[in-house]
Every structure is written in C-alpha cells, then in structure tokens.
Structure 1
Amino acid sequence: MNGNVPASTRTLRVLTFLATQPGPVPMERIASAVGLPRSSTYHLLKAMISEGFVVHLPEEKRYGLGVAAFEIGSAYLRHDPLERLARPLLAQLVAEIGQTAHLGVLHGRELVYLLKEQPPRPVTLVTDVGVRLPATLTASGRALLAELPPAQVRALFPTPESFVRRTEQGPQTLTQLRRILADEKRQGYAVEDSHITPGVASVASAAVDHAGHPVAAISVTFRTDAIPSSERFLLARRTRQAADALTRRLRG
C-alpha cells in the first residue's frame, strides 16, 4: 500500500481484515496485513475506535471489531435478502410444530424482531416485527451473543449498568452472562423461560455467515404449560435444524 491510497480504502481494509479473524489481534498484525507503517496504523485505529468501529483491549494489547461494525452488518442483513431467505423456513417450522416462530437480529445490546410466523390460533405475545428487547433476556439474543468473540461481548456489556432488568430474571453481570453463553453454545441452542413474559418461554438457535459471524436467530415461543419439559428438547432440535438451514442459504 502506497501513500496514494485513500484513507477510506485503508479503513475498509482494516475492517475487512478484522472481520476475517477469529478474535482481536495485535496492532502489528493489522499493520502487516494492510501494508501500513506502525505509526499510521496507530492513528487510523485511534480514529476508528472513536467512531465505534474498532475496540481496543488494553490488557491484551489487541484490537477487534467494535459495535458500530456489527450494527452496519446487521443493518444490511435486515433488508430483503435475509427476510426472503428466512421466511419459508419459518413458515415450514410453524406448520410442523404449531407454535409461533420469529427471526431476530442483534442491534447493539438489543434483539430486533424482523419476521413473525404464527399458527392459526397463536398465543398473544409482546414479540412482534420491529419490537426491540434486551438481548440478554431473550433466547434469540443470547443465541447470537454466544457466537460472538468474548471481546465483543465484553465491549457490549462493560458494566453492570449495561444489563436490563425486566422480570428480575436473567444475567446481571458479565461473568453470569459468559457462563450462560458458554453453556448455550455448547448445547447448540438458547432457552429463555419467563424472562420477558411470565409463563412464556422460547428456544432459539443462530444462523452464521461464511466467516462464522452470527447473522440472525430463529426462535420458537410457547406457553410453558403447553409444552411439557420432556418435549422441549425436540422443539429445540427442530429450531436448530431451521437455523442450520438458514446458514446454508446464507452461504449458498
């Protein structure tokens, strides 16, 4: 890279490089990857940090994608292509299980619902298209957070004040959240029971893109007295299958 390359191009190359990494990286690797001197890389990263596109982890001396980068990615994916790919999968899921299904994406610390498919006689829910809820309290939000690098989760929830209370349930610290996310990532789906509405539960799984970044989550919501505990694993497994199908479509 020579001095004639515009700053905007250098910025995009930094973002592209960081997006391909499994986690935050040292500045030296960024400088080498994009062909910049160390001093120029430092000033460029400083400007990107101030705009929220990069986050600096001083204890680790590493840099990763910031919240603004994820918001732009989510904004693109909330448009028609994602909804067209997901809608048939949600319709098929609802036809098979007879419960309400949603498609949701992360927007900062919130989960935003993009699609909602319902059976003939649906349960009345607060979740609807365009509704935003705290990501840590929803199965969809946690399914997506579980696929983010730990540094990105820490950037989203740096203090106890970052966590929202709704029904006095759900994680209230980063340590609690990380423990829950690790367990849910291991099992392949997230579960929320009465965190948003008492007596209503959800299961959700995330769909990811070519780089393994979470794009959207498919969830199924039901009344806790309608689905016995013994049957919820089957519901979770079917939701996981729908999310995997969306992943294949996204990578298609």
Structure 2
Amino acid sequence: MGVPAAEQTLAILRYLSSQARPVQATAISRSLDLPRSTTYHLLNTLIDYGFVVRYPDQRAFGLGLGAHELGSGYARQEPLQRLARRPVATLADRCGNSAHFSVLLGRDVIYVIEERAPGRPLLVTDVGVRLPAMTTASGRAMLAALPPAQVKALYGDRDAFVGHGPDAPTSLSTLRRLLVDVRARGWSTEDGEVSEGMASIAMPVLDGTGYPVAAVAVTFPEAERTPDLVEKLVAEVQETTSVISRRLTG
C-alpha cells in the first residue's frame, strides 16, 4: 500500500524536474490534482531539506541543490544501466539488429546503452546522444505511459513543436492522438524520422508504480519490414522490458 504523502512529494519532484523553468504553486497543484494547502505544505518541507528552491520575485518554485545531489548520486551508481546492459545485449543478439536503452529528460531522450549488431549500419543513437522525445520511438513509448497532465505540462508551450521535421507532431492535440495510438497498440514506432531508411520499435520500462523510467528499442532497415519481422521484434522488445522491470522492482 502506498503512502500518500510520499507519493505526492515524489510527484512534485518529478513534475519540477520536467519543467524548463520554475513554476508557480498553483500550476503544480492544478497539474498534479493536489489541494493547494497540501501543495504548499509539501513544498515548504522540500525547501527545508534543500530539494526545492523558492523564487520570491516570480512566486515560483524549482529544484534545489538536494535534488541535484540525488541526481549526481544516481549518475555515479548507474543502476539502470547496470540492470539493463545484459538484457539489451541479449536483445541485439537475438534480433540481429541494433538495440538501445534510453531515459526521458524533460522533452528529450538520452541514450545510455547502445548495442550494435554486427554488419548493421551505424546509428545516431549512440551513448550520450540527446534527441527530441516526440520524434523517437523510445520517447513516444515513455510519453505514452506518462500521466496526461505531465504530457500537457511538458508540451503546453507552442515552441515545443518548432523545428522537429515534417513528420513530427505539430501541436499538443496531434501529439495526444499519436500517444493514444501508441497506448492502443502497446508499442511505439518511428519510420525514417531519426535515421533515413531505418525504423524503430520501442516499449517503456515501468517501475513498481507503473511510471516509465526508461525505454528499450530495436532499430532495423525499413526495406526489411514485414509483418512477421515486426511481430518478432515486438515480442522480443516486450520480453526485454519485462526482464528489466522485474530486475528494477526486485
């Protein structure tokens, strides 16, 4: 059974980490469907412990040094990479295509594992590469698993849809329709939007609360696409995400 106060506190931190700039308490309360009194109480507690900073001139809140220290500790331990490296390598071997593992950071995905299959073309999704989430199969898989309020918070600004290519969503409504299709299908795809002539299939890795902490994807030449290949790759990616999720939750 969850602890409501803990869940609400984590929701606030996740929300703040997804924002490009400090936000007001009313926006936090509205986006997370929290009572205003609860929102202010939790923010004040997080301020006391250094995880949140208040900007009086803007009447806004942002992440504090404590959150940065947690992020630095996470980067040092690299738990997700440690848990996922072998399953992702196995996926590449079984599929004969390159596989990758990425995490969501704001509106972008960052690739943290890249397993290249022998004889396959080099991809732009190398370790450390950062791409717009809504244009990649991995990003779409994670966005589709997020609460709708968080997607709205990430993409409520029209500038979020500028300069991403002719096939990318052009508004929050078109992005929402794309994500509805992803949820209905159970997996996401992109066809030539990241690398010309290459397609990808991806699924999210979910933690114990159902939150998408990462995504696994396989990339293959579009010319080789057949219904049987797609069915095989979907099954393999699903098995890999399930393995990583079980490792993550213990």
Cα distance in 2, alignment partners of residues 207 and 116 from structure 1 = 16
**Post-superposition offset of 1:93:** 0.6
Aligned position for 1:189: 187
**Post-superposition offset of 1:230:** 4.0
Aligned position for 1:26: 34
Unaligned runs of 5+ in 1: 1-10, 54-68
Aligned position for 1:110: 108
- After superposition, the C-alpha distances for 1:203-232 in whole angstroms (9 at most, x for unaligned) are 000011112111110000111012324421
Cα distance in 1, alignment partners of residues 171 and 97 from structure 2 = 32
Instruction: Indicate the RMSD between aligned Cα atoms, in angstroms.
Output: 3.5
8 Å contact from structure 2 (residues 54, 61) kept in 1? yes
**Post-superposition offset of 1:50:** 2.4
Aligned position for 1:8: none
From 89, 93, 100, the counterpart of 2:87? 89
Aligned position for 1:58: none
Aligned position for 2:214: 216
8 Å contact from structure 2 (residues 112, 128) kept in 1? yes
8 Å contact from structure 1 (residues 89, 242) kept in 2? yes
- The residue correspondences of 1:144-163 to structure 2 (distance < 5 A) are 144-163=142-161
From 60, 64, 68, the counterpart of 1:50? 60
**Post-superposition offset of 1:244:** 1.5
Cα distance in 2, alignment partners of residues 149 and 195 from structure 1 = 25
From 122, 125, 129, the counterpart of 2:123? 125
- 1:238 equivalent in alignment to 2:236: yes
Aligned amino acid, residue 195 of structure 2: T
Aligned residues: 220
8 Å contact from structure 2 (residues 202, 218) kept in 1? yes
**Post-superposition offset of 1:163:** 1.7
**Post-superposition offset of 1:140:** 0.3
What secondary structure does 2:90 align onto? helix
Aligned position for 1:64: none
TM-score with structure 1 setting the length: 0.75
Cα distance in 1, alignment partners of residues 71 and 174 from structure 2 = 27
Aligned position for 1:143: 141
Cα distance in 1, alignment partners of residues 230 and 36 from structure 2 = 48
8 Å contact from structure 1 (residues 77, 215) kept in 2? no
What secondary structure does 1:126 align onto? coil
Aligned position for 2:9: 15
Unaligned runs of 5+ in 2: 15-30
Aligned amino acid, residue 38 of structure 2: I
What secondary structure does 2:111 align onto? strand
Aligned amino acid, residue 107 of structure 1: L
TM-score with structure 2 setting the length: 0.75
8 Å contact from structure 1 (residues 206, 217) kept in 2? yes
Cα distance in 2, alignment partners of residues 188 and 82 from structure 1 = 22
What secondary structure does 2:145 align onto? coil
